[in-house]
Amino acid sequence: MGASKLDIYSNDINQIAAVAKVFAHPARVAILQYISKQEACICNDIVDEIGLSQPTISQHLKVINNVGLLKGTFEGKSLCYCLNVKRFQELQTLFNQFFNQTKLNCC
Amino acid sequence: MGASKLDIYSNDINQIAAVAKVFAHPARVAILQYISKQEACICNDIVDEIGLSQPTISQHLKVINNVGLLKGTFEGKSLCYCLNVKRFQELQTLFNQFFNQTKLNCC
DNA sequence: ATTTATTATCGTAATATTGCAATATTACAT
DNA sequence: ATGTAATATTGCAATATTACGATAATAAAT
């Protein structure tokens, strides 16, 4: 197998898991931290900062972008990756709701 | 490859990723929700509740247990899986610290 | 001791993820 | 138009994850 049986879970549960997956790789956590620290939203420096190849970083950025966490001006030579703070906040709230609801029910 | 290069990241970052991985599968999210709802902390019912086989559930429980999220009396026939609420709270705090710190830095 | 009920482990197949080299694309500058 | 600099995509190899059937292990009850 190897594939998760997504159809047997509720949408809420699948959403939590999908979002958690973005944070489930250290490179992506490191990228998020790094781009949030950069005032001017630097770009290829991510490759230098983290010890991975450019294609690998690009791949991770795509995953981060797929949940709407990137914001920036994408203009050829001078790209600019920024953290979408509003979306970031939404995901934090999503997690907290899950944690709080689960705690509330507990014995 | 397929293996993450854990040695190039800080411990903090690896910890966030490792914890997120636990929540990155819908079965584990569903299991956590379910065991928190059960007052009497029932066990094999998880298999009936979620639509997966007993070995698969057992495997997921192991992953959940590895981050210390399980608490219970493990006595042969009448096992009892409980959510370790204290640890659950710790992980929530861990996530929130990451989110808050990252937001704080942001441009 | 044997049965019974419950969970864990092993072995295996299928799919997913990670990472990189090579190449393609894009947009700016000359 | 050509070159350059930066990122994206493709293709591939290695490892990880997911899932299940078969089997083992454990403890209670008879």
What's the CA B39/C1' C18 distance, rounded, in angstroms? 41
A98: amino acid identity, one letter: F
Mean pLDDT, consecutive 10-residue stretches, chain A (107 aa), reads 80 97 98 83 80 94 95 61 91 97 76
Instruction: Please tell me the distance from the alpha carbon of residue B48 to that of residue A81, in angstroms, as a whole number.
Output: 45
Q: State the nearest Cα–Cα gap between B37 and chain A, in angstroms.
A: 5
Mean pLDDT for the stretch of residues B33-48: 80
Q: State the maximum Cα–Cα separation within chain A, in Å, rounded to a whole number.
A: 56
- CB-contacted nucleotides of strand C (7 Å): 4-11, 13-22, 26-28
List of protein residues whose beta carbon is under 7 A from strand D: A 1-5, 43-44, 47, 54-55, 58-59, 61-62, 74, 76-79; B 1-3, 21, 24-25, 27, 52-56, 59-60, 63, 75-78
Task: Give pLDDT, residue B10.
Answer: 94
Q: Residue B63: which of B98, B5, B20 has the closest Cα?
A: B20
Interchain CB contact of B77 with A (< 8 Å): no
Res. B22: pLDDT tops 90: yes
Going by C-beta distance under 8 Å and a sequence separation of 6 or more, which residues neighbour residue A22? A28, A63, A64, A66, A67, A69, B20
- Label residue B41 by pLDDT band (50, 70, 90): low
Six-digit token string for A47: 């490759």
Structural domains in chain A, sorted by start: 6-105 (1.10.10.10)
What's the CA B55/C1' C8 distance, rounded, in angstroms? 8
A18 versus B76: which is more confidently predicted? A18
- 3-state secondary structure at position B107: coil
B38, B39, B40, B45 alpha-carbon torsion, rounded to 10° = -10
Q: Residue A65 burial by CB count (10 A; 0-12/13-18/19+): exposed, middle or buried? A: middle
- Label residue B38 by pLDDT band (50, 70, 90): confident
Interchain CB contact of A7 with B (< 8 Å): no
Mean pLDDT for the stretch of residues B3-8: 80
Residue with tokens 């979306």: A87
Task: Give pLDDT, residue A19.
Answer: 98
The chain-wide mean pLDDT, for chain B, equals 87
